[in-house]
With several copies, the nearest count.
Chain A
């Protein structure tokens, strides 16, 4: 049985194992035991409300309860940029117009901003390659939206996700080559590494502070602004199907997009509903397959749990929960659950 729950210190070795397998370009889960230990401790404090809510950094794991193994991880940062400085470029439009000259030019212009400061970030998603099936990825990613729906007061009204930007097969980022590299002599991979270990803010000291007119960059760089790395395409599509949109914020290094949504516009939040649990002994066979799956959360903060149930479990006034699942969700009959269809049924 696959279940989402807060990370605990017991997950340390599983997490280290996962981090070993992330590969190049996934800076959010560095293969660095000390850092991972810190992340776990910080998450535990967050779930136990031992940090000021805006500074909380939550981390969830996907556990295969059949073998007690952690096979995936994801995170939510309550408000970014409160402890360090959060930078993005924002693509703005500069219009030059003169009716007398017949000129009406729109020039995309990059502004270095701290505008996502205070927004909630969904981040650090990673799933073991063996488990990339059976909707595990969607469960892992979307479980967070139920947490947002259950505890909106703990988060910003705007949530975003940073997407890894385009780089070629050699790992070269045309955006970096055209911009960052001109302002400090450093390879992209080193800049990327410094970012991963938390050095983004001080690297930004070397970045240009005044707006950059995009046509000054190379054609290649202009073309990849807001593009995601091909490995990240599915993640982007998933978030967009939930109502996330690209609204002009990009990474200062690789030009990858930050896509954003107001929490109340996220489909899984908007369409989620509360209903009483009905714990049952002999569940019917699921019909309709993956398409009709629902996410259900136990609505607990410190012991947050999410699992998938078939659409047939959703009754007029109740949700059927098999005994074994009830145990994993730590609920009894009559408890109020939150549920939402795993996919947007209209799309």
Chain B
């Protein structure tokens, strides 16, 4: 059985393995053990409501195979993008250069460094074992965050953002970085990314030049990378678009990848999810597949299960599901169609 639950320290080794797998390079999950350990610690304190995290909670969910105890994926939610520091992006904008005498109105795309997304709720650190990429468990992992946020709206910002990884070239170079950031750091993307991981992204952003960047002066490849998702991120993009996320004006300062934005209340999972009282029963069979979670915050659980939804406030689930969700008779579960 695969379930989503808050991460614990015993997941550290498994998560580290995931984080250092090749395809995880496009995730914002850090790769250093001490950084991962810090992240788990922050998540534990956040789920526990520890004061030290107040207002800048960082939640990390894991996808666990309960039969083996293996962690197969992670999905994070930062209450507050930037985690108390400014959260930087480039905002795509344009300037009009007019010459009335020449009857010319040139629209020049420019990138402004901005921190206006600071404080919005950020989805991050999504990674999953390669074997499970194409399965429904990827959707379970990614969308479990929507149930968490939908259930506990008051704990999150009303705006959700996600930074989608940008494109790299065949040699693993990042054309956007190579044409922009690299000039100011004299280091390749991987090195900058490494420092971003061990220091902070804010730290790097503050070293970037403060004047707007004229897009026409970037290389063709860099211009093409602006707002373009990495092929490995396309599946997740698709899922997020289906949920109601939309591409905004902001892009990542490193790789030029797009930022998706949505209001919590406009998300399909949030709009369609229902909560009902549990009746544990052995006689459930078949039904429609749902994402189902319990009603607990600190002991949040989310799984895929089949339900036959009726009209009343009570829903039948079987013993196994009740156990996975850690719910008893007449406690409430929340569910949305898979």
Q: Which residues does A use to contact B, with CB under 8 Å?
A: 94, 96-98, 100-101, 103, 105, 107, 109, 179, 182-184, 202-203, 205-213, 215-217
Is B320 part of the binding interface, using a Cβ–Cβ cutoff of 8 Å?
A: no
9 examples of A-B residue contacts, CB within 8 angstroms: A107-B209, A182-B217, A183-B216, A202-B102, A206-B99, A209-B95, A210-B211, A211-B211, A213-B184
Within 8 A of A (CB), among B205-238: 206-214, 216-218
Across the interface, which residues of B come within 8 angstroms of A206, CB to CB? 97-99, 102, 104, 106
CA–CA, A216 and B195, complex, Å? 24
Minimum Cβ distance to chain A for residue B313 (Å): 57
Across the interface, which residues of A come within 8 angstroms of B267, CB to CB? none
Q: Is the interface of B mostly helix, strand, loop or mixed?
A: mixed
Across the interface, which residues of A come within 8 angstroms of B217, CB to CB? 179, 182, 212, 216-217
Minimum Cβ distance to chain B for residue A221 (Å): 10
CA–CA, A205 and B86, complex, Å? 14
Q: A205-B97, A209-B95 are in contact. List 5 more A-B contacts (CB 8 A).
A: A103-B187, A205-B98, A213-B184, A213-B211, A216-B179
Across the interface, which residues of B come within 8 angstroms of A216, CB to CB? 179, 183, 213-214, 217-218
Minimum Cβ distance to chain A for residue B148 (Å): 36
Q: Is the interface of A mostly helix, strand, loop or mixed?
A: mixed
Q: Which residues does B use to contact A, with CB under 8 Å?
A: 95, 97-99, 101-102, 104, 106, 108, 110, 179, 183-187, 195, 199, 203, 206-214, 216-218
Minimum Cβ distance to chain B for residue A186 (Å): 9
Minimum Cβ distance to chain A for residue B191 (Å): 9
B104 near A184 (CB under 8 angstroms)? yes
The residue that B99 contacts in the complex, of A100, A179, A202, A217, with Cβ under 8 A, is A202
A105 near B99 (CB under 8 angstroms)? no
The residue among A100, A207, A217 with the most chain B CB atoms within 10 A of its own CB is: A100
Across the interface, which residues of B come within 8 angstroms of A184, CB to CB? 97, 99, 102, 104, 106
Across the interface, which residues of B come within 8 angstroms of A217, CB to CB? 217
Across the interface, which residues of B come within 8 angstroms of A211, CB to CB? 211
B199 near A100 (CB under 8 angstroms)? yes
The residue that B101 contacts in the complex, of A98, A101, A107, A202, with Cβ under 8 A, is A202
The residue that A96 contacts in the complex, of B104, B207, B212, B214, with Cβ under 8 A, is B207
Across the interface, which residues of B come within 8 angstroms of A97, CB to CB? 207
CA–CA, A249 and B276, complex, Å? 71
